[in-house]
């Protein structure tokens, strides 16, 4: 079951899961999430990595109200940005993709990746202790992540915080607005403890957000008088952004109200539809891969979906569901999966070869289990790819193969006549047992 929970992060593509009455809401953010299980910590795949300032820039371009900000790569640039802001108070934020920055620690000795100050000179001093140093938070690797950029922004007081999101909901066959007057906290807690404070508006994909819907949502969020119209305007602009960038989710927490009577989006998470990359070139060009796992990046080049785990049996599977089942059955028989590798459909021999290169490059791997059900996939192509990889890579670890489906008899003939030390399995349970036994030997 624990492996199933881990794989959920991949299967949902960091999306949102909401039931119809919204008594339970799970929103997986675009930041890292970790699933602890039997000492295992997993960083699931994210489909597009944008830094905070990049998301704010997209919002700004759509007319959404955000704090004034600048981006700096050096302490001198940060100091100059602070002076240019000419603000009463300034907030300096280290730009990394992991959450928990405020409570993080730099290897320079500085505590906290988010700092407030009224003195521009202090911004330069703080940036000098941030840039080029590793920031460690509860969501980063043990050694932290190097900070290469900081955001220098105007600090605004917040008199009230609300929550607002637009996301795709399958039960409604399109986008919905979800809001709550209880913002600045985990929306999951609000949904669980006070579900009556969660409000939902279904959006007609052809008509868009109507004025009465936006005003009703603004009222439900607690905005009154002129602020209600201002909030409704921000809601409509956020929906425009949602459509413009092919988002699957735009989550603003908090959507805040300032003492001066402004409605401002203080923090936002945007999830994008990876299928829209072909028409969102400028957005996907901003993808920050510096913090991504190198193996995942290499896998993506060959259209392979890879997630590293901490076991020693490599899984080579087609289809997310079959991959999850394979990982679970390995665990059931006393083994530990070393990875989650989904070949998907339309596989070519070269992909199989590159997949084996990735798997054998992991020093933890002591056995490889291939589990293919050939529906779209031609098993003979898999078999040819396996034999090529085994010979050219001089495979040193035990290999167990279970093939079923399209052209399986030809595939088994190819493997048998190859003369390679490949262990055949009749079914998934048999394959898992043989892979675990191969390691014990």
Reference 13, options 187, 272, 266, 321; nearest CA is 272
Tokens of 358: 């990735």
Active-site residue (options: 201, 251, 296, 366): 251
20 annotated ligand binder: no
Is 70 noted as a catalytic residue in this protein? no
Longest pairwise C-alpha distance within the chain: 80
Question: Are the CB atoms for 326 and 432 separated by under 8 Å?
Answer: yes
156 annotated ligand binder: yes
Question: Are the CB atoms for 373 and 316 separated by under 8 Å?
Answer: no
Is 163 noted as a catalytic residue in this protein? yes
331 annotated ligand binder: no
CA-derived radius of gyration, the chain: 25
100 annotated ligand binder: yes
Chain centre distance of CA 43: 9
67 annotated ligand binder: yes
Reference 162, options 252, 66, 261, 29; nearest CA is 252
Residues in the chain: 441
Task: Report helix, strand or coil for 118.
Answer: coil
91 annotated ligand binder: no
Distance (Å, whole) CA 426 – CA 379:
14
Question: Are the CB atoms for 253 and 247 separated by under 8 Å?
Answer: no
212 annotated ligand binder: no
253 annotated ligand binder: yes
71 annotated ligand binder: no
Task: Report helix, strand or coil for 376.
Answer: coil
Distance (Å, whole) CA 328 – CA 126:
47
Q: What is the DSSP letter of 63?
A: T
Q: Are strands 150-154 and 90-94 parallel, antiparallel or unpaired?
A: antiparallel
Going across the sheet that includes 145-146, the strands are: 105-106, 134-136, 145-146
Active-site residue (options: 10, 77, 161, 163): 163
101 annotated ligand binder: yes
Reference 110, options 97, 98, 92; nearest CA is 92
Question: Are the CB atoms for 312 and 434 separated by under 8 Å?
Answer: no
275 annotated ligand binder: no
Tokens of 327: 């990982």
Residues of each annotated binding site for substrate? 318, 375-377
Residues flagged as binding site for Mg(2+): 253, 267
Binding residues for GTP: 67, 100-102, 156
List active site positions: 163, 251
């Amino acid at each position: 079951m624990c492996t199933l929970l881990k794989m959920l992060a991949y299967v949902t593509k960091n999306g949102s899961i909401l039931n119809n009455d919204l008594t339970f809401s799970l929103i997986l953010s675009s930041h890292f999430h970790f699933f602890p299980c039997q000492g295992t910590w997993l960083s699931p795949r994210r489909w597009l990595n944008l830094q905070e300032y990049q998301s704010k820039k997209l919002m700004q371009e759509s007319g959404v109200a955000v704090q004034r900000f600048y981006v700096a790569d050096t302490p001198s640039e940060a100091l100059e940005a602070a002076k240019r802001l000419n603000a009463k108070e300034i907030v300096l934020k280290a730009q990394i993709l992991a959450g928990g920055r405020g409570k993080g620690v730099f290897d320079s000795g500085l505590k906290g990746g988010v700092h407030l100050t009224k003195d521009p000179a202090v911004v330069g001093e703080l940036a000098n202790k941030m840039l080029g140093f590793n920031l460690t938070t509860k969501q980063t690797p043990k050694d932290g992540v190097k900070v290469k950029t900081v955001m220098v922004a105007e600090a605004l007081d917040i008199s009230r915080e609300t929550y607002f999101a637009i996301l795709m909901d399958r039960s409604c066959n399109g986008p919905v607005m979800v809001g709550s007057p209880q913002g600045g906290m985990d929306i999951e807690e609000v949904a669980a403890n006070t579900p009556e404070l969660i409000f939902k508006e279904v959006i007609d994909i052809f008509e868009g957000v109507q004025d009465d819907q936006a005003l009703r949502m603004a009222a439900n969020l607690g905005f009154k008088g002129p602020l209600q119209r201002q909030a409704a305007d921000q809601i409509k602009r956020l929906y425009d952004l949602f459509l413009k960038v092919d988002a699957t989710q735009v989550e603003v927490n908090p959507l805040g109200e300032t003492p001066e009577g402004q409605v401002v989006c203080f923090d936002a998470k945007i999830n994008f539809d990876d299928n829209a990359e072909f028409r969102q070139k400028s957005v996907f060009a901003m993808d920050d891969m510096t913090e991504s796992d190198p193996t995942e990046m290499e896998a993506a080049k060959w259209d392979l979906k890879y997630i590293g785990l901490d076991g020693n049996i490599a899984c080579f599977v087609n289809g997310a569901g079959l991959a999850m089942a394979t990982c679970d059955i390995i665990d059931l028989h006393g083994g530990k999966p070393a990875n989650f590798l989904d070949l998907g459909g339309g596989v070519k021999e070269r992909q199989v070869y590159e997949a084996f290169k990735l798997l054998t490059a992991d020093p933890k791997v002591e056995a490889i289990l291939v589990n293919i059900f050939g529906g779209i996939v031609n098993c003979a192509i898999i078999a040819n790819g396996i034999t090529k990889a085994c010979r050219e890579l001089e495979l040193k670890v035990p290999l167990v193969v279970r093939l079923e489906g399209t052209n399986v008899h030809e595939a088994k003939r190819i493997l048998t006549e190859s003369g390679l030390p490949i262990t055949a399995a009749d079914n998934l349970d048999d394959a898992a047992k043989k892979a675990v036994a191969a390691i014990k030997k």
